[in-house]
Amino acid sequence: MIKAFVKEQIFHLQTNNTSYIIKVLPSKHLGNLYYGKKLDFDIDYQNLELKHKLEVGSQVAYSNEDKTFTLNTAFLEMPTFGKGDFREPMCHFRLNDGSRITDFLYQSHQILENKPKFQEMPEAFGDKINTLEIKLYDQASSLEVILYYSCFEDQDIITRRIVINNKSQNPVIVEKALSMSLDINNEDYSLTSFDGAWIKERQINQQKINPGIIKIDSKKGVSSADHNPFFVLSNKYCNELQGKCYGFSLIYSGNFEAIVERNPYNQIRIQMGINSFDFYWELMPDKSFITPEVVLTFSDQGYNRLSQNLHNLIKNNIINPDFKNINRPVLFNNWEATMFDFNQRKLLKLAKKAKKLGIELFVLDDGWFGQRNDDTSSLGDWFVNRKKLPLGIVKLAEKINKLDMKFGIWVEPEMINFDSELYKNHPDWVISHPKHKPSLGRNQLVLDLAKAEVVDYLDEVLTNLFSSANIEYCKWDMNRNISDLYSDSLSPKDQGKLGHLYVLGLYQLLSRLTRKFPKILFESCASGGNRFDLGMLYYMPQIWTSDNTDAFSRYFIQYGTYFGYPQSVVGAHVSDIPSMQVIRKTPLETRFNLSAFGLLGYELDISLLTPFERKVIKKQIEFYKAHQQLFQFGKLYRLASPYQENEMHLVVVSEDKTEAILGIFQNFEQPNAEFSKILLPMLDITKKYRIIKREQYFSLDMFGHLVKHALPIKLNAKALLFHLLRNRYLFKTETEDKIVEGDILVHNGFIPKQKFMGTGYNEQVRLMGDFGSRIYYIREVYENEKN
Ligand code: GLA
């Protein structure tokens, strides 16, 4: 709800648990009074005001009329440069006369019942999302800035964006146009960003905010794996379950910047938006520039609550509503199984095996088109390779459908190889500069999506592909960052627009295709997680999280990813060992257990599975399907963090708390292990729960020559019989099935069986091993179980 106190010129935006309060300052600048835990509407707002009562030493007083007021320490909602605020401006302009001074003052406001929709850009949507619109105006330049604040009450989210209107007779260069700026008092906050690179995306990185400026950004043309366009500020008391924290996430897929500045007065300025580096936008008279939307949230119940706010927003207000709470199929992807080396026979063999395992969707990855046998050619030629698939995609899809599986396909439409028909026909469609030999990434170049004809062409060619066969899923890849940034379609003074125009072109294309093919489930991918952001999620309801499918690396990747994104968007596949990315061996059960806290897939040569693996995988998929809604859409809690402890604990719980699933993931086996007790604060103290361990198996490899201590038979681990048995024998792990009161689970915790102590193995022992894991299904007891 939004209330405007017109006389006091105060605007109070309230969500269920938070308040955001804005005030027009006496100077007419737009100030911020407060952002945090919900405050009553009926308060004395003066008590929130900073005291600007003393003459300012070594500062610029904004006006001679009040020598005590300087912009440099005011909490401002739209700071610019030139009138004494020497912190980072939110917007920066180069005016027709060469000056850069702007001074935006309050002009008017209105409260809109609904959120306005602008040009084709991703955004948070919803019915009756009250929006505050505030107009600011700079007299000298005749520039108008409209600020929009939308209140997603149930999610405890405020979204912000601005629109800049040039009301002058002259063009203006916009050099910086961020989506938000917020000033708060420092309470010893730390900044957490989610940093990384290929195969190590979204690693948690926390740093203290010292005086100065911290900036995370992307100049890569995509939001990038280096820094996710999402960050958190938290005070020193904050942990997963308690403490104050703020989250900021940008709904944008291109170059971005996030700035945290601490000034000498222990005030913190927080900003986010399109990267001002290499951005300049000539705004002609009567034209507007619209910034992407940024999402703000606050929690005083720790990081989990902050994440859940964002998860709710993504599930309800970002992803395509057609896919809201719709179970995502368990998929098989042939990439790590075959790479480029496949034909129809091989694919169908895999598909039959997949069907037998219980898989629901067969995804044909890279290599099905043009002359593509490796990554040096054919991107751009989106017609089938008849040598590999003589009967075409249509027939392949038909045959897969006949097996009662859905069919999906991989594309990388934004890219082109020199060695392609498309390049022969349209060398001018590539982002490059005539005087530079273009630098390649994965042997490929990027198409110039700033050109309408390129977007039209891709629209046409993909429309043909998607309507040519029964394609129900599409993995949309993007495997390089953008260099050689130059477009011959833009005038010299418009080249600074290219990065943003590329993103707008992409959004245009995605909007057209997703509208034309509403039934296709799109999964975004960019060498894994190089473009993992809310912008892509608006068009594609899930993302391939990382090319790293090693389960242990995935502990860290998924734990970090869950901070900003729900498990219902996190693609997670079981692959073979040793892992292609780190040559590590992790247990098959852990590879599943972790993937189950996401969108489960299998990406390994399932035609080579041992009988042991086949049986185990079948049981895994059965279990996942039995709890698909809960795994994919349950409320997610992170408990123990693998970054800080030897174990990671994850829980998904149903809204009504009648069922939950706990996952325990161990880093390394410890000698003489500690006792475990796991608090489950998300459960209901008034209920009684039954906790059942998922049936899991070891292969005999777990024991090797020690097997005689675990089984009542003698086996020579080097002999053939052992080898035969290890591929067949399902060695059961301990069982666990008990009834425990909710208040015990909440207040004292769940006590699983004792861990292996090095003193023998039997049914009472929980042997985890390196990278071992367990899953427990927890549900309210049925009436007849109660005594
Ligand atoms: C990227 C993707 C992979 C796979 C390959 C195919 O690396 O992230 O999953 O699709 O491309 O070339």
Residue 174 has pLDDT above 80, yes or no: yes
Residue closest by Cα to atom 1 of ligand 1: 527
pLDDT score of 519: 96
Element holding 637 (H helix, E strand): strand 635-638
Which residue from 375, 527, 573, 599 has its CB within 8 A of the most atoms of ligand 1, so it is best to mutate? 527
Helices (H), 517-607: 534-539, 551-564, 588-596
Strands 18-24 and 599-603: unpaired
List the catalytic residue out of 366, 381, 547, 550.
547
Beta bridge partners of 573: 601
Q: What is the DSSP string of 280-317?
A: -EEE-TT-EEEPPPEEEEEESBHHHHHHHHHHHHIIII
**pLDDT tens digit sequence for 231-258:** 999 999 999 999 999 999 999 999 999 9
Distance from residue 606's CA to the centre of ligand 1 (Å): 19
Mean pLDDT of 507-522: 98
Type of residue found at 111: I
CB atoms within 10 A of CB 751: 14
What pLDDT band is residue 787 in, cutting at 50, 70 and 90?
low
Residue closest by Cα to atom 9 of ligand 1: 547
Mean pLDDT of 312-336: 97
What pLDDT band is residue 449 in, cutting at 50, 70 and 90?
very high
Mean pLDDT of 138-161: 98
Distance from residue 650's CA to the centre of ligand 1 (Å): 28
Distance from residue 524's CA to the centre of ligand 1 (Å): 11
Mean pLDDT of 625-654: 98
Residue closest by Cα to atom 11 of ligand 1: 527
User: What is the chain's percent helix, strand, coil content, to nearest 5?
Assistant: 25, 30, 45
Residue 783 has pLDDT above 90, yes or no: no
Distance from residue 742's CA to the centre of ligand 1 (Å): 45
What pLDDT band is residue 685 in, cutting at 50, 70 and 90?
very high
Please say if 477 is a catalytic residue: yes
Does the C-beta of 479 come closer than 6 Å to ligand 1?
Answer: yes
Does the C-beta of 525 come closer than 6 Å to ligand 1?
Answer: yes
Q: How far is CA 447 from its chain centroid?
A: 25
List the catalytic residue out of 419, 477, 533, 550.
477
Does the C-beta of 365 come closer than 6 Å to ligand 1?
Answer: yes
Distance from residue 460's CA to the centre of ligand 1 (Å): 24
CA nearest to 625, candidates 352, 409, 331, 321: 331
CA distance 385 to 367: 8
Query: How high is the mean pLDDT of the chain?
Result: 97
Residue 56 has pLDDT above 80, yes or no: no
Burial label for 721, CB within 10 Å (0-12, 13-18, 19+), is: exposed
Does the C-beta of 366 come closer than 6 Å to ligand 1?
Answer: yes
Residue closest by Cα to atom 5 of ligand 1: 366
Share of the chain above pLDDT 70, in %: 100
Residue closest by Cα to atom 2 of ligand 1: 527
Burial label for 207, CB within 10 Å (0-12, 13-18, 19+), is: exposed
Mean pLDDT of 713-718: 88
Mean pLDDT of 306-328: 98
Do 79 and 271 meet the contact criterion of CB atoms below 8 Å apart? no
CA nearest to 67, candidates 78, 59, 76: 59
pLDDT score of 712: 83
**pLDDT tens digit sequence for 287-300:** 999 999 999 999 99
pTM: 0.97
Q: Per the structure block, which two tokens stand in for 57?
A: 């030493």
**pLDDT tens digit sequence for 688-708:** 999 999 999 999 989 999 988
